[in-house]
Amino acid sequence: MIKIENLSHTYRDREKEAIKNINLHVQKGESLVIIGSSGSGKSTLLKAINRTIEPTAGKIFIAGEDILSSPNKKVRQIRGSIGMIFQNFNLIERETVLKNVLDGRSRYNNNLNIILGRFSQDDYRVARESLQMVGLAAHEQDRVANLSGGEKQRVAMARALSQKPEVILADEPVSSLDPKLMKEIMDLLKNICDEKNITLISSLHFLDFARQYSSRIIGMREGEIIFDGSESDLTDHDIVNIYGKTRDWYLYGKLGF
């Protein structure tokens, strides 16, 4: 489904590479979790996959298409097949839930319709189905700003789902939620992706979550993949390697070594 070859990226004005020489092959329907401390390159890797940043070197194939060398129109098409959710939801707060979810339909619409705010019956149907899936069908006319954090992330999920995606990228999707909601949101996300056979790639901070919601874990440190395996392969030794020597193990859901 996704094939990444020798991918590197250096942010402008910075000397150190944010990710270096990443090689990764993700199968359809996999549930991949990327772990690593802040600045290890998790987020950069995710953003490179749908080309919302321009990687400085390497190749990325999405369903066989090279997204980095495709023309703009093709890139937009590929992006459309990849839903993305974010730590801070990134919704338009002052608008209604339904309007935000309809943004997921942009790749199926032309510019004029978007300017006039016109959507087809099909768009409405898909948007409402997505809201149903995340349990917010009754809130479609509410303003996003009036919702709780957990509900906002559900709206963001519905926006991604209404794209009818093959892949969902989740960049620290629960980091700004409280612990109870974290579990609720991750359960929902994982279940929907399993049910629809959507490939899920998420970056998570907590080890517990990484173990629970993955079919495969990738550990990153200083821009490189230093662990790639299943939850049962992940040893304490690997964990220390990934996070480095730290006293703050409780931050990652471990009492210490």
List of residues 6+ apart from 13 with CB closer than 8 A: none
Please identify, using beta-carbon distances, which residue of 158 and 217 lies nearer to another protein: 158
Give least dist CB 4 to another protein, A.
Answer: 17
Give least dist CB 50 to another protein, A.
Answer: 5
Please identify, using beta-carbon distances, which residue of 9 and 221 lies nearer to another protein: 9
Please identify, using beta-carbon distances, which residue of 103 and 184 lies nearer to another protein: 103
Give least dist CB 43 to another protein, A.
Answer: 12
Give least dist CB 253 to another protein, A.
Answer: 27
Please identify, using beta-carbon distances, which residue of 77 and 212 lies nearer to another protein: 77
Nearest alpha-carbon partner for 91 in 184, 157, 178 = 157
Interaction site with another protein (CB under 8 A): 50, 52, 76-84, 86, 88, 90-95, 103-104, 106-107, 109, 111, 114-115, 143, 145-146, 156, 159, 163, 169
Q: Are the C-beta atoms of residues 2 and 26 closer than 8 Å to each other?
A: yes
* E strands in 53-190: 57-62, 65-66, 82-86, 167-171
List of residues 6+ apart from 173 with CB closer than 8 A: 85, 86, 87, 153, 185, 186, 189, 202, 204
Query: What amino acid occupies position 15?
Result: E
